[in-house]
Amino acid sequence: MRIGPKSKAIGTILASSALVFGMSTSASAVTTIPANGYGHAEWNADPSGSTPGDSLRVCDTKADGYGVKARVFNSNYDTVRTASTAGTNAPYCTGWKSGDLPEGTRYQIITYRVKGDDEIVLDHRFVSA
């Protein structure tokens, strides 16, 4: 079967697009951890543009008097990152909380609904640095 110039051009464009798409998604992948409709946490493992790597932030999307909090735990359940919107008015996102962590290490992120000293666990995800 003979492949014409148009087919070659289309194939080249599709192959190039797939390569660029694959590269851009892996470099800028942010993991979102839901907070049951109150907001969410975001984890960014690798630096991307102005977003630092090994970083956490939370967003509160519901103006209900409660905040959204997230903690990153290592395998010993030591907290290595915390971000919270407590004391702010929704909608609001915190800045990125970052610092270098060992590559390939797994962590658990837990999201909470918070008010004062009360914390209600909402969701969790496992992520890697």
Whether 10 is covered by a domain: the verdict is: no
For the chain, what is the domain count? 1
Q: What is the pLDDT of residue 63?
A: 96
In the chain, count of helices (H) and strands (E)?
Answer: 1, 8
Whether 5 is covered by a domain: the verdict is: no
Contact, 79 vs 72, CB < 8 A?
yes
Whether 2 is covered by a domain: the verdict is: no
Residues spanned by the domain of 115: 29-128
> Per-residue confidence at 69, pLDDT binned at 50, 70, 90?
very high
Q: What is the pLDDT of residue 64?
A: 96
Instruction: Give pLDDT tens digits for 28-62.
Output: 589 999 999 999 999 999 999 999 999 999 999 99
> Per-residue confidence at 3, pLDDT binned at 50, 70, 90?
low
d(CA 61, CA 22): 30
| Mean predicted confidence (pLDDT) in 75-83 | 97
Report DSSP state, residue 102.
-
d(CA 83, CA 102): 20
For residue 49, give the CATH number of its domain: 2.60.40
| Mean predicted confidence (pLDDT) in 16-22 | 37
